Amino acid sequence: MRNHFSLSASPSHPLRYAILHNRLQPSSWGATARSLLAFLSPEEIQGVIRRAEPSPLNGRPLQSTELRRALAKIREQGYAVSYAERAPEVHGIAVPFFDNQGQVRGNLTLTIPDFRFDSAKLPEWVALLRESVTDLTSRFGWS
């Protein structure tokens, strides 16, 4: 399984994090990818581990033990957090959403530059994403 971005919004500020649309990216790096991967089948997760795609940011190798530990934590807390896995000095926070059959279908994500990131605000940001996920899935009729 590989994921791709189909929609994004970017600020006009010169410190932009550009997301290339409809381009496949590794499913093992970053909050966006891992928030989806965590809720896929063991076989799909193993396929991603087998591919062992390096970090798109700096080429560091995938560590299967770290990935499995991270996915377990994501399943437990219901969201993913990452730092500098896809872009330098950027934090990612992603909350997955599910269809009415319980299958993961996407996520809502915040990307925040390190100089603007305040770990004390993480619960607030997660709550905002969860609220938006609830609204989104309700609009799809999946609540």
Per-residue pLDDT of the chain (143 residues; tens, 9 = 90+): 666 677 777 665 555 556 667 777 888 999 999 999 999 999 999 999 999 999 988 999 999 999 999 999 999 999 999 999 988 899 999 999 999 999 999 999 999 999 999 999 999 999 999 999 999 999 999 87
CATH number of the domain residue 111 falls in: 3.30.450.40
pTM: 0.84
Q: What is the DSSP string of the chain?
A: --B--------SSSS-----TT--B-TTSHHHHHHHHTTS-HHHHHHHHHHTPPPTTT-PPP-HHHHHHHHHHHHHHS-EEEESSSSTTEEEEEEEEE-TTS-EEEEEEEEEEGGG--GGGHHHHHHHHHHHHHHHHHHTT--
In a domain, 15, yes or no: no
- Total number of domains constituting the chain: 1
Q: Return the pLDDT at 1.
A: 64
In a domain, 75, yes or no: yes
